[in-house]
Structure 1
Amino acid sequence: MIIPHQQLDTDTLYNLIESYVLREGTDYGEQECSIESKVAQVKQQLNSGEAMVFFSELHESVTIISKAEFIALQTDPEYQASLDN
């Protein structure tokens, strides 16, 4: 289920993005990128629709996923079967 990020409290959204960034890792290649910079990038992706806040009923968790990941979930038979239960 998609959760509109605009409906989240500012602190809650920031903490969710920061948690996502920290899980993702901090190796950005030759050029280092601060956590604050990465958080701003993810927030921009949310604003543009490239990423979205997603609640997984299957895992009972909230995370950020890309639009491509969301589309892939929609065609995943295992995921769809979990929704039917």
Structure 2
Amino acid sequence: MSFDKENQQPPIEVSASDISPEALHGIIENFILREGTDYGREEAAFETKFKQIKKQLDNGDVKIVFDPNTETVGIVTKTEWQRMQKKK
């Protein structure tokens, strides 16, 4: 994969319902385990974090996004997604 700044493609929102339960679990797990993820003053258990992210996905507060330029998938806040849309 070569990086061509001029031919960058915009990120694509992916609906959680379009992803297998196993893949969705992996995406959420990866997001939780990423270094630097902040959950406030007190550290929460993995299962608690997982439920919080799943609920945020269900409520539309966070989005699953595929970046075709890097071929990666991540979770971003609704605000981050709106900023990405403005850059198009």
Larger RCO, structures 1/2 (Cα 8 Å, 6+ apart): 2
Match in the other structure for 2:26: 15
1:37 correspondence with 2:48: yes
Q: In the alignment, residue 50 of structure 2 is paired with which amino acid?
A: V
Match in the other structure for 1:59: 70
1:3 correspondence with 2:14: yes
Q: Which runs of 5+ in 2 are unaligned?
A: 1-11
Q: TM-score, normalised by structure 1?
A: 0.79
Q: How far apart in 2 are the matches of 1:25 and 1:39?
A: 16
Q: Which runs of 5+ in 1 are unaligned?
A: 81-85
CA RMSD of aligned residues (A): 1.6
Q: How far apart in 2 are the matches of 1:30 and 1:12?
A: 30
Q: How far apart in 1 are the matches of 2:77 and 2:40?
A: 21
Instruction: Report the more deviating stretch, 21-30 or 67-76.
Output: 21-30
